[in-house]
Homo-oligomer: A and B are copies of this chain.
Amino acid sequence: MSVTARGSLAEALSLRGIRLTRQRRLLLEVLDNAPGHLNARELLQAARRTDPTIDRATVYRTLHLLKTGGLVDELDLLHLEGEEHYYERRRTGDHVHLGCPQCGTISEFETDLVLELSQEVARREGFTATGIRIEVRGICKACSEAQVG
C-alpha cells in the first residue's frame, strides 16, 4: 500500500538523485493509490487530507519532476472532464484511452498495435519513440446499446 513498499517510484527518484521529501512521498502515494486519473487540483485536495499544509506550487513542481523523469504521463483525456491535465503513473504496458462524451466515461484498452506503431514509426521515419499517447473519442458499448434499445 505504501509507495516505499511498492518501491519503484520512490526508488526511481532517489536513483536520479532527487531528494525524497515528506511532500513528494505523500504525492507519490496518492498518485499510486488513486482509483482513476487525477488532475493537479484533485491531487492537491487528496494530499491535503493527509497533510493540510501542502501547497499548490509543490504539487505542480513535483508533477513536472515526475513528467520529465518519465515516471508519470500527462493526459488531457480529450477534455471530456474539463480543460485541465490529468496524470497517471507510467506503466509497462502501453494503453489507449477511450473516452465517451455521452456518458463521460474514460476506459483503458491494451493492444499490441501501440508497440507496432512505435516500430513502424522507427522503421519508416527513423523516429525513436520514448512515449506515446493515444486517445480515442467515441460511443462506448453501453451508450450504443442504450440508444438502440
> Which one of B107, B120, B145 lies within 8 Å of A111 (CB-CB)?
B120
**Are the C-beta atoms of A137 and B132 separated by less than 8 Å?**
yes
Give the complex CA separation of A132 and B139 in angstroms. 12
Question: What is the copy number of this chain in the assembly?
Answer: 2
CA distance A140 to B144 in the complex (A): 40
A96 within 8 A of B: yes
Q: How large, as a class, is the contact surface on chain A?
A: 35 or more
Whether A113 contacts B120 by the Cβ 8 Å rule is yes
Q: Given A76-B76, A113-B113, A141-B125: A118 and B130 within 8 A (CB)?
A: no
Q: Mark A122-145, 1 if CB is under 8 A from B, else 0.
A: 001111111111111111110011
Contact assessment for B133 and A127 in the assembled complex, using a CB-CB cutoff below 8 Å: no
> Which 6 pairs between the two chains have the least Cβ-Cβ distance?
A126-B141, A129-B138, A131-B137, A128-B139, A130-B138, A133-B135
Interface residues of chain A, those whose CB is within 8 Å of chain B, are 74, 76, 78-79, 96, 98, 100, 107, 109, 111, 113, 116-118, 120-121, 124-141, 144-145
